[in-house]
Amino acid sequence: MATSKLGDYLRGRREQMQPRDVGLPEGGRRRVSGLRREEVAMLARISVDYYLRLEQGRERRPSPQVLDALSDALLLDDDGRLHLYRIAALTPLPRGAGSNERADPHLLAMAELWDRTPALILGRAYDVLAANTLGRAVFHHLEPGANLLLAVFLDPSTRSFYLDWEKAAANAVAALRFLEGAWPRDPRIQEVLRTATEHSREFTDLWRRRDARGKSDAAKVLLHPEVGELTLRMQTFDVRSAPGQQLVVYHAQEGTRTADALRLLGSLAAPAPERRAGSRGRIS
């Protein structure tokens, strides 16, 4: 049977939903997981036959009106709707620039001025292209050139580093699918996808959910081996000078234990002449 990324995504989202999510009755025993095709077609106000052809990949060019109706029917957020448009080829796709990415040195120099703000520069496939001094201190488990997604699934230390590892893992997978929709021919994204699929069953199970969303404002709770628990707010910015790259900035509310811990980490990570007085240890 023919298939397509559009059909796979529609089927994956349909199977993740329940009738109660969209105000439909449960209706006794159901032979399918999630919504029936007929129910999605009814919610989107399109024919069942047309929706079936979309899922089976026999129809690949739906109109924007149909995509909007499906977005509403499947309760897609803004990132999910954008991903739907991308895989239906209704948004311009950026040109791939190969896998040899470099961080803008001017951007890194600016990030180094933030002595209380950890920052990472990520490539299109979530390779860590660079980090400021405090970013390297916080994300101590990431070697130069590491891939953030592969580290989540293949580095055992991340299970204790992310206190809500399951949420971090699910968000990482959804973010990779979102990027793949934007850069479908990027060789590095495909390489990361193959590696994660081959070595992690948990990744594969999450990938089958077909969630798609970009990194956004979110809270992260980390357990650092030197200073203990860190509660950080994350903000993500697109790097306009290098399409596909992202600047991820973490910050702590002033006056909190985390803010004090970041100051300690910054002093420990600074070159020896710049280190302030203080001893290595946890903040209590």
Q: Which domains does the chain have, with CATH numbers?
A: 5-87 (1.10.260.40), 105-274 (3.30.450.180)
> What is the predicted pLDDT for the residue at 216?
72
pLDDT digits (tens, 9 = 90+) for 132-141: 999 999 999 9
In three-state secondary structure terms, 129 is strand
How high is the pLDDT of residue 269? 83
The residues, ordered by sequence, that sit 6+ positions from 264 with a Cβ below 8 Å of its Cβ are: 227, 278, 283
pLDDT, tens digit (0-9, with 9 covering 90-100), for 118-133: 999 999 999 999 999 9
Cβ-contact 269, 276 below 8 angstroms: no
Return d(Cα 83, Cα 87) in angstroms, integer.
6
Which helix or strand (DSSP H or E) is residue 227 part of?
A: none
Cα–chain center distance at 160: 19
Model pTM score: 0.77
For residue range 255-283, what is the model confidence (pLDDT) as tens digits?
A: 999 999 999 998 888 765 554 444 445 45
Number of Cβ within 10 Å of residue 191's Cβ equals 14
Q: What percent of the chain has pLDDT over 70?
A: 89
